Structures are given as C-alpha cells and as structure tokens.
Amino acid sequence: MLFHFCTYGFLKNQRYFEPFIYLAFLDKGLNFFQIGLLIGLKEVTLNTLEVFSGILADVFSRRKLIQLSFLSYAVSFAVLAFVHQVFLLSFAMILYAIGDSFRTGTHKAMIFKWLQLNGKTDQKTKVYGYTRSWSKLGSAVSVILASGLLLYFDSYEPVFYFSMIPCLLGIANICFYPESLEEYKTPSQRPSIGQHISNTWNIMRERPVLRRLLVEAAGFEGVFLTIKDYLQPLLKTAAVLWLTGWLALPISDTRAATLLVGPVYFVLFIGSAVASRLTHVFVRQYGNEEKASRALWVMAVWIYAGMLFGFIYLPVMALSLFVFLHILLNLWRPTIISRFDDYGASTQGATLLSMESQARRFTVMLMAPILGWIIDFSGGKDNMHALWPLALFGLVVCLIFVLSTRELDQAEPQIKAI
C-alpha cells in the first residue's frame, strides 16, 4: 500500500499551474485584492464543506470521496484555463474547494488506518513524512513540466489543461485501495451522522489538547497558506528586472518569470521533500512532537523577522527566507498530524483531520483579502518592498504563540474509538 499512498501524493501535486497561479491571475487582469477575494472564496467554501465531507468519508466511503475530489479538480482546472471574468473564476475556485474538501484529512485517515491494521502506529511520523516527501517530489517534477509548457506556449492556459490528466490517473490509483481502509465495511456497522458528530464533539470536549492543536494549525500553517504564493510575483519582478532589464534579453515577461520561478520552485520542492522525509529525525532530536513543534515556532519567528527586514531593505534576503519558510512547513506538517493522531480516535480520523484543515484555512479565508488590499495600497504589483505586511503578519502571530505556548502532557493516553 505504501506504493499507492506515494503515487496518490505524487499525482495530486501534478498541478502545473500552482507555482504560477498568482501570475496567471495577474495575467488575466486581476489585482491583488481580487486575487485575495478568489482565494478567500475558496477558503469559505472549504470551511463550509470541510468537516461535513470528513464525516461522510468516515461514515460512508473514504475511497469514493477522494475519487470525487479528483473529478471536481479536473472540471475546475478546465474552467480556470479559459475564463477571465472574476464571476466565472469564482465558480472554478468553488469547484477547486469542493475537490480539496473531499480530499483533505480523508487520505491521511486511510494512512493511519493502514498503520493501525499493520501494528505500525509508532512509525506514523516517519511514514507520513515519507509519503509527503513523494508529494513534494511530485511538485518538483510538476514545476519542471510546467516550466517547459510555459516556455513552449508562452501562455498560462495550457498548464491548467495538462493538470487534468493526473486527476484521471489519481481516480484509477484509488481503485487499488482495499476496503479494509474504510472505517465501517457494512451499513450495519455505520453509526448515524448525528451519532458520529456527537462522538467527535465528546472527544473535542474531553481533550482540550485537541482544541489547542486546532489553534496551532490555524496559526502556523494558516499564516503560511495566506502568504506563500506571494513568492511568485516577487520572483517575477526580480526576473523581469534581471533578465529583460539588466541583461536586456529579448523575451516576454512570462518566459522571463518562468526562467526564475521554475528553478526556484524546483529547489524549494526538493528541499521540502528532504525535510518531510527527515521529520522523524528532527523530532527525535527534540525528544517528542511537542518539543519539536515549539522549536519550529521559534524558528518561524526568526524567519519572519528576517523577511520583514529583507522586504524593507534587501528583497533578495526576503526571497531566500521565503524558500526556507516552505521547508520549515514540511517539518511542521508531519509533526502536527502525528500529534492529532496521538490524541484523537481512529473512528473520527477523517473528521478530526478535516477540522484541522478547516482551522488553518479559516486564517486564509479571513486574511487573504485583507493582506491583498493592504499590498495593493502599499505599492501594487511591481514593488517588492510593498510585500512587508506579509512578514509583519507572520511575525506577530508567531510571537503570540511562542509567548503563550505551554508544554502539553505527553503522558496523556490516546482516546480509542467511542
């Protein structure tokens, strides 16, 4: 099964538009505020559907829900390719969000179910980090293919169309997942949706540590998801300045951006893959997931502080720290997912992980339009110095968590199925 888990991660990240999505929106004539509204709409839809889709996955079929996720992605990418109106782009982003809501939490729950069935729950950080590394290797491959498509077509539309192919392959891959990865195999075993919600609520009520983890997810990864794609216009501005300005190369802005965005994202994804695969080593160095998480919060404070200085005085420094921030997230992700599995119940696995995803996306829903408006007001598309609010936002959030975090009780026993 590990092969199919890794194949899933590799295929789901064959989104050839992803390193260029902000640039594609800007190319369609949108400003940062409109882009922020589209991202915010996607997150609103996700937050509306996230937990309910996790409940459906736990109670009915995790495998079928993921297949519907890939189908929704394919339709969304087709619409994103050819429309330019904000209204129609909104429809595409809603379909994108439906795809995400059916997938997030569901596949991780199947991985942890497989570990439970095979008596390998003590290896969850290592196994999840390994499968996540294949996701990032998929991203590294996708950025090479995307760069080739952009250099050849000199247009962003083809990258959306080609992204539909891996979705169909992803549907086929899920067909090889055994029924044993479902939480309930027969209708007679399934609780009602109301009973499932009640069980999940009881776990959340009895375990304040789970509520704390939801807040941490909203803080650490929510901030990252809000600001991460601003790396794209930062790279494009640098590429146009260096390649068509200083070197006077006779190429379009799209090709100039590709020549810098492609290599940087390739290095970023390879570094992320290595970080994910070595997360268990990082955790072992600090003793457990709780202490490792606190160390990551402290590291994030220094990175955001350096980015703030860089945006104001030395943009190339901010650009470099953006890359390190991506790598830091890939140490964080397996760590917090393992913490959720420690304190949760397997029968609510997809639901709890969907709630985790919902918490971090709530930050994006709230802050993406606001930060977009602030950056437009500060200087707009071509001013790298105007991106300083991103770093300030991250720095403030991380300082709050570092100053308020307390050690969680690692000795607290795991809750089993209710």
Q: What is the mean pLDDT of the chain?
A: 81
- Residue of 332, 345, 338, 154 lying closest to 250 (CA atoms): 154
Is a pLDDT exceeding 60 seen at residue 191?
no
Length of the chain: 418
DSSP 413: P
pLDDT tens profile 219-258: 888 888 888 888 888 888 777 777 776 676 777 878 888 8
H helices present in 60-123, as ranges? 62-82, 86-103, 106-117
Cα 354 from Cα 69, distance rounded (Å):
14
H helices present in 228-348, as ranges? 231-239, 253-277, 279-286, 289-313, 315-343
The superfamily (CATH) of domain 206-417 is MFS general substrate transporter like domains (1.20.1250.20)
Look at residue 193 in the predicted model and tell me its pLDDT: 53
b/e per residue 33-68 (b: at least 16 CB within 10 A): bbbbbbbbbbbbbbbbbbbebbbbbbbbbbbebbbb
Angle at 101 between CA 144 and CA 64, to 5 degrees: 90
Angle, helix 388-404 to helix 208-227, in steps of 10 degrees: 160
Look at residue 96 in the predicted model and tell me its pLDDT: 94
Q: What is the mean pLDDT of residues 167-190?
A: 78
- The model carries a pTM of 0.72
pLDDT tens profile 279-324: 888 888 888 888 888 899 999 999 999 999 988 888 888 888 888 8
Band (pLDDT 50/70/90 cuts) for residue 333 is: confident
Cα 187 from Cα 285, distance rounded (Å):
45
Q: Which residue has the higher pLDDT, 110 or 385?
A: 110
pLDDT tens profile 369-411: 888 888 888 775 656 777 888 889 899 989 988 887 654 444 3
Q: Has domain 1-177 been given CATH number 3.40.50.2300? A: no
DSSP 406: -
Percent pLDDT > 90 in the chain is: 22
Look at residue 418 in the predicted model and tell me its pLDDT: 40
Do residues 355 and 212 make contact, with C-beta atoms less than 8 angstroms apart?
no
Cα 69 from Cα 112, distance rounded (Å):
20
Look at residue 413 in the predicted model and tell me its pLDDT: 41
* Domain spans, the chain: 1-177, 206-417
Q: Give the number of C-alpha atoms closer than 13 A to the C-alpha of residue 329, restricted to the C-beta side.
A: 24
Pair of tokens at residue 408 = 């969680």
Q: Which of 6-20, 136-150, 210-224, 241-255 has the lowest mean pLDDT?
A: 241-255
Q: What is the mean pLDDT of residues 91-113?
A: 85
